[in-house]
Amino acid sequence: DLDLGTLSAPDAGFIIFWVGVAMLGLALAIFTQTILSKVQTGERKRLWSGQGWRKVLFVLASLLVYAHFLVPIGFLPATFLLLLFLFKWIEPHKWVTAIGVSVVMVSVTYVVFAYWLGCQLPKGLFDFL
């Protein structure tokens, strides 16, 4: 039901459609690469081996916790804690790097979405902002 519109006057479905086309193209490229890759005779490739499922489960769990606490404690502390967890325990970095990058990312994201785009982010503990 969403019209595409034109490049100079896009409608609601324009970006959704073209992102879908790009994802389809990338999926086909990966599929083709997988089909054309050579495997030694007698060697079996395990499709999902070595993919780090434990990290995937921790990231999913952390996103669920983030979604649960986003409104009560607010965007700033919830996002900072999520990023700190990801930078320190999922892909370990030094504390200085993890804290610094988390602060910078939360600050930039807050400025872009709250001030430039005018989005209402959950205030939570920082109701005075």
Residue with tokens 């007698």: 42
C-beta separation of 78 from 69 below 8 A: yes
Closest CA to 80 of 102, 112, 109: 102
- Please indicate, yes or no, whether the overall pTM of this predicted structure exceeds 0.85: no
Q: Which residues pair with 21 in a beta bridge?
A: none
Beta bridge partners of 5: 10
Helices 75-85, 95-110: axis angle to 10 degrees equals 140
Q: What is the average pLDDT value for the chain, to the nearest integer?
A: 87
Q: Of residues 7 and 38, which shows the higher confidence score? A: 7
Contact 124, 68 (CB under 8 A): no
45-91 pLDDT, tens per residue? 666 666 677 888 999 999 999 999 999 999 999 999 999 999 999 88
Q: Is 83 exposed, middle or buried (0-12, 13-18, 19+ CB in 10 A)?
A: buried
Q: Output 117 or 101, whichever has higher pLDDT.
A: 101
pLDDT at 82: 96
According to the model, what pLDDT value does residue 9 have?
84
